[in-house]
Structure 1
Amino acid sequence: MRNRENPTKWESYKQVITAVSAYWVFSIGLVFLNKYLLSSVKLDAPLFITWYQCLVTVFLCLALSKISKNYGIFKFPSMPIDAKISREVLPLSVVFVAMISFNNLCLKYVGVSFYYVGRSLTTVFNVVCTYLILGQKTSGQAISCCGLIIFGFFLGVDQEGATGTLSYTGVIFGVLASLSVALNAIYTRKKSIFKRNGDKKV
């Protein structure tokens, strides 16, 4: 019987593909759900939606942790409340909440298609913040790609304006969402707490 702690190469690929596919499905699905709530249902409360989704996530994590511990059907990290870890991870939590808040605020003012245009600057902010915060330089090819992304962003803004549906408020929230996503990724890499306690547990 194969040791589950040492999966084969194919099993590792399968786990990665499953995780990435699940992320795509749930991420895109959540964007459409939030847009439906903000537009069709006219639920003019993007920050309440953000708070509720965070609350549901916490309860789901606690429930999955309990099921994993009591029944062993699947593996899920334990969810102990550690004041020290909570204090250390607080800045990252603030950035994460800002990220999803700006995402929903952006969706309130723009359509789903332009939402992704507004969020396209994440890579650019990633390159800039990686240099400013981590001190890591980026290759010339990557910077050239960032130039193309910026050009595409302004082209998208121009075309949205040409159709008469451009919302500058939505664009600003989209840019702030992109910055928050980049900062979230960078602070996750920077925080030594992840190395000491493990990504899943934190």
Structure 2
Amino acid sequence: MESLGIRQESLLYKYVRITAVVSLYWAVSISMVFVNKYLLGGSSGHDKDAPLFVTWFQCFVTAVACILLSQASKVFPNLITFPEVGHLEKSKARQVLPLTFMFVGMITLNNLCLKYVGVAFYYVGRSLTTIFNVIFTYIMLGQKTSSPAIVCCAVIIGGFFLGVDQENEAG
């Protein structure tokens, strides 16, 4: 019986941890979109033509943060765990390079999109990622999607067209 109590406690701990991580991701992601929209201008009156600089600066700060966290994990190993930064193997770098270009491209295009459209429509457009995941999962992996998931995709597509209509109304 005691082992069951410990197991339930650890399961509860896992659920709480997962919920906290997802909530933190949502908060950071949404905050980053609004900060980028503010930096890139548009309706705020601070129209700056700097989406590429913003992308570069975000990547630079990320690299510096990774280096600092790597060093901090050596000084405080009980508090911080982070992989060692600095040693780069050419074979691994070649494998990761296409993903790196895709990531930088994604951030750049996100920033360009935010420069020219509203945050609400940006999120509507971003929701189309789900549709492309379903399509690419079928094409590349050969996995079929359930009927309820297809219905959800239809709702997302309907929301996209409604968002396009509203974006046109807003000018």
Q: Show the counterpart of 2:58.
A: 53
Q: Measure, in 2, the Cα distance between the counterparts of 1:82 and 1:16.
A: 32
Report the aligned-residue RMSD.
1.8
Distance in 2, matches of 1:143 and 1:42, equals: 39
- 1:112 Cα offset (Å): 1.1
Residue correspondence of structure 1 range 130-169 to structure 2 within 5 A: 130-163=137-170, 165=171
Which amino acid is 1:132 matched to?
I
Give the superposition deviation at 1:43: 2.3
Partner of 2:40: 38
2-structure distance, mates of 1:76, 1:11: 22
- Aligned equivalent of 1:196: none
- Could you tell me which amino acid in structure 2 is paired with residue 30 of structure 1? M
Q: Secondary structure of 1:37's match? A: helix
- Which residue pairs with 1:10 in the alignment? 12
Deviation at 1:145, TM superposition (A): 1.4
TM-score, structure 2 normalization: 0.85
Alpha-carbon distance in structure 1 between the residues aligned to 2:34 and 2:141: 34
CA distance in 2, matches of 1:11, 1:69: 27
Paired amino acid for 1:20: V
CA distance in 2, matches of 1:138, 1:111: 31
Q: Using the aligned pairs only, state the percent identity.
A: 56
Q: Deviations over 1:61-114 (max 9, x none)?
A: 111111012222222222332221111111211221121111111100011112
The residue type paired with residue 54 of structure 1 is C
Ranges of 4+ aligned residues in structure 1 off by more than 3 Å: none
5+ unaligned residues in a row in structure 1: which ranges? 1-6, 166-202
Q: Tell me the CA shift for residue 162 of structure 1.
A: 2.3
Count of aligned positions: 159
Q: TM-score, normalised by structure 1?
A: 0.73
Match of 2:6 in 1: none
User: Taking CA–CA contacts closer than 8 Å with sequence separation of 6 or more, which of the two structures ends up with the larger relative contact order?
Assistant: 1
SS at match of 2:106: helix
